[in-house]
Chain A
């Protein structure tokens, strides 16, 4: 197995999907000539031409609305929204149109569109370029939400998202673009809604997704030094999330911590905790503990952002609370 950068894996998935299906198009701001703000679409214009790789003006609402209309009319558009914070501008198209079209038109058509967007802090991008807003989308019936943690899952999940008949929000973590990780020789689409065990363990389950998986793995290493073997589950998909995999892990470990970079309050972790408390109550030997960002905007200054972002120390403290 070789290694590949996370951003390169996204790029390769886009190229392979375009190669496999002529109805796949890539639209967005500065994604063609400039190759995307984070380089994820670099080279696609030269390879597939300006009919399929289209620079759009700074009109997020119309890009997303057009993607919806195009998806109803035979294309499989993949749109890039430069920062997840800007998805505030696409909400009508996604929430009122794309998410509901299949249902409210009686199943006449599906809406095969993918919205790619980076979330997350760690690069001092400030309050309007760092947010993790995945819980908003996971709350909308009709949308799927995916968040890969490494190059292999970025590739496999993006291929699956593009193949999927329904609208998928594909969330990349901007701090991961430059990271390299194992990459298979013959990468294949992964199934949406399936979690992976990133590290096996018997004493405690830590559920996470995206960039926070790496923080959870760091915490697991430190916990192991104290004799606590944590199992780290990489959810990969947030909507739908792999309830069976989490429940099976909790049935082995009897303790659960849920970790994400998004603010803790009303977040994805709240849903997972509530659900496992309901269906897995008999398996639990301690409280389910959540680790997320504090309920405040993402701050800019280095010292402030470091204090804001959930780190391994907070996960370790949460793990001890869950086990004690």
Chain B
């Protein structure tokens, strides 16, 4: 998805990501998704509000909680599901799974299993855009937990020094894995941005319209050669660090209160306030379910990956 979208399309994107992850949650509970998955339920407005505005040639490096980022960048749904299910038809042929979904042709440089690692990868991608004279930009998404990683600090310094066309997005959900971030981070990102001299904005990350409006001038600044910017999105992690995490470390009142800030509810209310009929919202929901059904059915029917082909793909083919 690229370009500026109207509110009902933003709503549809939010719903698509939510419903995909809800399906994944069920499939995971049924033992059909191997490995670990980290869901971004409650955080969808960040992906949709920012990444859906990027162009296909813009590049994004993501995190372990990256399904929303990937889908907002435009990953084909069937290839996405097939990857998470470990099928040959997966975008990465079943080699990477949830933590490594990528689609280079549309600038999705991959989710990442290493906290903070996407920052320097996106920096390098930004420098490639600049060096090669392209007006594409690179974006990195990381969570507040990544603020404790040294690599993120190195990246901020280098991005500023080299005026890299880098959009830095912090999804601040208040949790660093199993610990509240205020017990992990001694500083604020706004204060850090100031120290590096990087333009900074903070936005309600659960309001897709607000995120979208905050991101538009930031993206224009980066694309115009103004150097890196940081957009901190205050958001909510509804599920555990990973699926299966019972979240015993969280207060049940806190989890219950998250419904008030549900980005889907906020977007739906805004659409209704703007005159949208309930029937229109239902139609969007139905079309999302249908799209997911088709993709998931096809993905599940696909073959298992071939070990010999995987084994042969560690290095590039040797030129004759």
Contacts and interface: CB of A to CB of B under 8 A. Distances in A.
A266 B156 CA distance: 38
A77 B124 contact: yes
A67 interface: yes
B222 interface: no
A106 B112 CA distance: 15
A57 B121 contact: no
Contacts of B121: 65-66, 68-69, 72, 97
A54 interface: yes
Contact of B110 (A23, A63, A101): A101
A25 B117 contact: no
Interface string A35-76: 000000000000000011010110101111111111111110
A252 interface: no
B228 interface: no
A169 to B, nearest CB: 14
Contacts of B124: 65-73, 75, 77
Contact of A54 (B59, B100, B126, B162): B162
B158 to A, nearest CB: 5
A165 B155 CA distance: 25
Contacts of B215: none
A62 B93 contact: no
Contacts of A165: 316
**Considering residues A25, A65, A142, which has the most beta carbons from chain B within 10 angstroms of its beta carbon?**
A65
Nearest to A61: B151
Interface string A79-120: 000000000000011001100011111111110000000000
B132 A75 contact: yes
A66 B120 contact: yes
Given A65-B120, A70-B125, A93-B117, A106 B95 contact: yes
B109 interface: yes
Nearest to A59: B154
Contact of B117 (A57, A92, A108): A92
Interface in B126-143: 126-129, 131-132, 138
Interface residues of B, number: 47
A150 interface: no
Given A70-B125, A105-B95, A108-B104, A93 B132 contact: no
Contacts of A70: 124-125, 127-128, 131
A242 to B, nearest CB: 14
A166 interface: yes
Contacts, number: 145
B151 A107 contact: no
Nearest to A108: B104
Contact of B96 (A92, A104, A142): A104
Contacts of A297: none
B166 to A, nearest CB: 10
Contact of A73 (B59, B113, B117, B151): B59
Interface string B99-114: 0101111000110111
A106 B91 contact: yes
A73 to B, nearest CB: 4
B131 A75 contact: yes
A18 to B, nearest CB: 12
Contact of B125 (A23, A56, A72): A72
B158 A108 contact: no
A103 B314 contact: yes
B61 interface: yes
B155 A65 contact: yes
B120 A107 contact: no
Contacts of B120: 61-62, 64-66, 68-69, 93
A74 B132 contact: yes
Given A96-B113, A102-B314, A69 B125 contact: yes
Given A74-B132, A105-B95, A108-B102, A69 B122 contact: yes
Interface in A301-315: none
Contacts of A109: 104
Contacts of B138: 69, 73
A68 to B, nearest CB: 6
User: Which of A93, A96, A102, A107 counts the most B-chain CB atoms under 10 A from its CB?
Assistant: A107
Nearest to A51: B131
Given A69-B125, A144-B315, 20 more contacts: A56-B158, A57-B157, A62-B119, A62-B154, A62-B157, A65-B120, A66-B120, A68-B120, A69-B59, A69-B109, A69-B122, A69-B128, A73-B128, A74-B132, A75-B127, A103-B310, A106-B93, A106-B96, A110-B316, A164-B316
Shortest 9 CB-CB distances between A and B: which pairs?
A65-B120, A69-B124, A66-B124, A69-B121, A106-B93, A62-B154, A73-B128, A70-B124, A106-B92
21 contacts: A23-B132, A59-B154, A62-B158, A65-B151, A66-B120, A66-B121, A69-B128, A73-B109, A75-B128, A92-B151, A97-B114, A102-B313, A103-B314, A104-B96, A104-B100, A105-B102, A105-B110, A106-B93, A106-B94, A108-B92, A141-B314
